[in-house]
Structures are given as C-alpha cells and as structure tokens.
C-alpha cells in the first residue's frame, strides 16, 4: 500500500511539473534590448474557434525581466488567440508580477483586431508557419 501511495505521489508531482513546463522560443528582438518569446508548451489550437492560443512574454536581461509565465517575479506577458488566415488576434488576458493572469471568459465571442506592429506580425509568422504541428484542445 505504501508503494502505491508513493507511486501516486510521484506521478502527481511529475504531472504537475509537466503541466507547468515553459519552453520559451524567441520570435523577435525589439528595441532597447527587449525581446518577445512564446511558450511552445502553452500553445494550442482551440477546437471551438480554430484559433491558435499562445502565451507570449517580453524579456529584457538588463532589467532581469523574463521571459516567464504568470506568477513569476520576472513574468510580463499576455495570452492571445490568433486567426492565421484572417491575420488577426484577440487578447485573452495579460499578466505582470503584480497582476495575475485572468483570461476573459467571453474571448471566443470578442471582436478580433488586426495584428499590427512588428512584434505581432513576427508572432503570426512564427506560430502560423508551424500550425499543422500545434495540438488541438
């Protein structure tokens, strides 16, 4: 019985670690030593809308800033839903060290906005180029 409990605890810890894994992939360098990255472990295709949901974060090593996810002392970013064909996006929510991530429950019905700016255009180019490899949820 003790072995079963120990095994169950080990599986729970492993699952929790895998669920919170962060694999940040830089997609663009920005001004003043900042860069934008997306979390490949968080990226997925939403079955309800067909949009690609992506967590993105900014980093600036000189300021000890990320990239990191919500709840981290150096995490600043957002979650967006991208339509690769229409080249638009919806912001689901954002986060900073002092503000936890809260996703808008109505995002699936929110009006998308054109993805403008070099950082958003780079995100679309990067994520949409590998859309066939993104898991659906």
| Residue 137 confidence (pLDDT) | 95
| Residue 3 confidence (pLDDT) | 39
**How confident is residue 1, by pLDDT bands cut at 50, 70 and 90?**
very low
pTM score above 0.75: yes
96 lies in some domain: yes
4 lies in some domain: no
pLDDT in tens, 98-126: 999 999 999 999 999 999 999 999 999 99
The answer on pLDDT for 13 being more than 60 is no
| Residue 7 confidence (pLDDT) | 33
User: Residue 124 is part of which domain span?
Assistant: 22-133
Q: How many domains does the structure of the chain reveal? A: 1
Distance between CA 30 and CA 36 in Å, rounded? Answer: 7
Cβ proximity of 58 and 49 under 8 Å: no
110 lies in some domain: yes
123 lies in some domain: yes
2 lies in some domain: no
pLDDT in tens, 69-103: 999 999 999 999 999 999 999 999 999 999 999 99
33 lies in some domain: yes
Residue with tokens 């689901």: 92
108 lies in some domain: yes
SS3 111: coil
**How confident is residue 28, by pLDDT bands cut at 50, 70 and 90?**
very high
């Amino acid at each position: 019985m003790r072995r079963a409990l120990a095994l169950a605890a080990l599986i729970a810890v492993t699952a929790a670690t895998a669920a919170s894994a962060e694999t940040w992939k830089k997609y663009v360098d920005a001004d003043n030593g900042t860069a934008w990255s997306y979390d490949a472990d968080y990226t997925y295709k939403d079955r309800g809308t067909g949009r690609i949901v992506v967590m993105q974060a900014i980093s600036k090593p000189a300021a000890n800033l990320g990239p990191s996810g919500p709840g981290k002392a150096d995490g600043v970013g957002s979650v967006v839903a991208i339509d690769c064909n229409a080249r638009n996006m919806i912001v689901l929510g954002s986060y900073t060290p002092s503000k936890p991530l809260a996703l808008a429950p109505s995002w699936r019905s929110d009006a998308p906005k054109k993805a403008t700016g070099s950082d958003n255009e780079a995100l679309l180019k990067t994520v949409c180029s590998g859309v066939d490899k993104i898991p659906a949820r």
